[in-house]
Structure 1
């Protein structure tokens, strides 16, 4: 990621009304979110800590240290993506007081509060609002029960779209892995039962991006994956990486040596691998300060 950080740079169209948000602000926000998590879960002496913090600082400079969020607020006052991206930086202590004041004012309007959003997206917007001091009286438990995961669906109905939806529900409920107790007990039990099977299915299908998101979910739950499942999953992810460390979103059609995947087809999955690994190692270190055979084996697979 450090070698390709220029690919995350905001282009000249980042502030235009028809700019490609998914190709500019979204990757930059994802870079910030993951680097904040990696720097938070790795101590300063860890060789991953400094590069993660450097990338986070680079991403913040791309926003003009928050000034571009203030401009976006004036151009698109009712767009939620600027606040959602900003929240990733705010989680690491990078803040812009002027933008926060303007965003909070808009977030208190009826127009903002009545915007129609699916429950999973609404959970994310609510979490972003809390970063700027807005705490609306929303029925979060009701929202959660309106999501695919919250309804405790038949486990065989799991597929790609529901998989990505459930991972983000968990990310929002746990503040991106900070609070494992944020997942309701029945959802935690449901995930403990079925996450290993879903993860194995995604790994078999070569869906590396979704597999890494599921591994991040596993590291965000009160109870970790079993030793065999966890080590097997990480070894398969490691074997799917290119020599540069890049991880493609999905298994290439043809097996065997190939060139490094294009940035657009590997940046998110590579970030998710780093995110899931940081959460996993962080949970191991937070248990009791010691490591047993399970922790040693898993950390070896992660490294």
Structure 2
């Protein structure tokens, strides 16, 4: 079994350059000045801010991160927190849209780093106990996302151990389905099932043993499929899955290939299409892939430090 140490060079290069790109281009992801808690299209700016906060929080969780990485990650987290009006934006969004889950999910990245908002804490403590909140109809891996955010933020009165098992078995991965029937959508759902059960590699035993064996068996095939299709965003997600497992799967050639595709400024293309020259378009098209590269590399480095 290849250990994370074997890919630490490629993982560090990938993560460091991705973090630098996120930091250098952070102003392109600022919320419009007239933004309110009710967003017409939250996927355009609000969602990327959450992804940036996730990447930064994992760097700060990683004790092996160097001083430069910690400074950059702290700067990114501060930037996003300021964009969210130091939590007031999340509070107002949750207050006015009680059944929305994204305020809790975004807030968890800050709580991971010791940043809290007292009013939002009180509101979430109330909302997460409502039967309505637990009855919102969501796809199964999204319910795991909310459960993990609640666990991180300290509102983990639900689900209990049986609840986690039930949520897990409702997912595509939880059924251990025919692996050749996977498609682009279910592949992303599978990756996030692993992320939330393991808290992004922080709880590698969180994925049940039978599903761990299933993923470890078929992950090499899935990586090959989407490498051949030049879907680099999904390849990066799959590499992150590999280093979340209790015994990480991390073949050096896959990491080296992804690092070789990364631009010197840290941008990692989402696919094989040409990259636009316009900075704002580049940000819109490739921000998610760069954030995933930062996340994947950071988890790999964290696991390598654990195995030493």
Using structure 2 for the length normalisation, give the TM-score.
Answer: 0.86
Q: Per chain length, whose mean CA-contact separation is higher, i.e. which structure has more relative contact order (CA < 8 Å, sep 6+)?
A: 2
CA distance in structure 1 between the partners assigned to 2:276 and 2:82 by the alignment: 34
Aligned residue among 8, 26, 32 for 2:53: 32
CA distance in structure 2 between the partners assigned to 1:210 and 1:168 by the alignment: 11
The structure where helix makes up a greater share of residues is 2
When residues 134 and 279 of structure 1 are mapped into structure 2, their CA distance, relative to the original with a 3 A threshold, is closer
The alpha carbon displacement at 1:126 in A equals 1.6
Provide the residue aligned with 1:279 in structure 2: 299
Provide the residue aligned with 1:150 in structure 2: 174
Cα displacement string for residues 248-281 of structure 1 (whole angstroms, at most 9, x for unaligned residues):
21111x5xx9747611111010011111011111
Aligned residue among 8, 30, 33 for 1:9: 30
The alpha carbon displacement at 1:100 in A equals 1.2
Aligned pairs (5 A) from 1:83-232: 83-130=104-151, 131-137=153-159, 139-225=163-249, 230-232=251-253
Provide the residue aligned with 1:266 in structure 2: 286
When residues 88 and 235 of structure 1 are mapped into structure 2, their CA distance, relative to the original with a 3 A threshold, is same
Q: Which runs of 5+ in 1 are unaligned?
A: 289-303
Aligned pairs (5 A) from 1:32-51: 32-43=53-64, 45-51=66-72
The alpha carbon displacement at 1:43 in A equals 3.6
2:22 paired with 1:22: no
Aligned residue among 80, 86, 94 for 2:101: 80
The alpha carbon displacement at 1:80 in A equals 1.1
Secondary structure, aligned partner of 1:12:
coil
Q: Cα RMSD over matched residues?
A: 1.9
Cα displacement string for residues 163-207 of structure 1 (whole angstroms, at most 9, x for unaligned residues):
100111011101111011111000111111110111121112111
Compare 17-26 and 89-98 and name the one that shifted more.
17-26
Provide the residue aligned with 1:297 in structure 2: none
CA distance in structure 2 between the partners assigned to 1:81 and 1:210 by the alignment: 22
- Contact 2:127 2:133 (C-alpha < 8 Å) held by counterparts: yes
2:257 paired with 1:236: yes
Provide the residue aligned with 1:54 in structure 2: 75
CA distance in structure 1 between the partners assigned to 2:107 and 2:61 by the alignment: 17
Secondary structure, aligned partner of 2:43:
helix
Secondary structure, aligned partner of 2:86:
coil
When residues 52 and 196 of structure 1 are mapped into structure 2, their CA distance, relative to the original with a 3 A threshold, is same
Secondary structure, aligned partner of 1:10:
coil
Using structure 1 for the length normalisation, give the TM-score.
Answer: 0.87
The alpha carbon displacement at 1:134 in A equals 4.4
When residues 248 and 79 of structure 1 are mapped into structure 2, their CA distance, relative to the original with a 3 A threshold, is same
- Contact 1:108 1:134 (C-alpha < 8 Å) held by counterparts: no
2:92 paired with 1:71: yes
Compare 15-24 and 89-98 and name the one that shifted more.
15-24
Q: May I ask how many residue pairs the two structures share in their alignment? A: 282
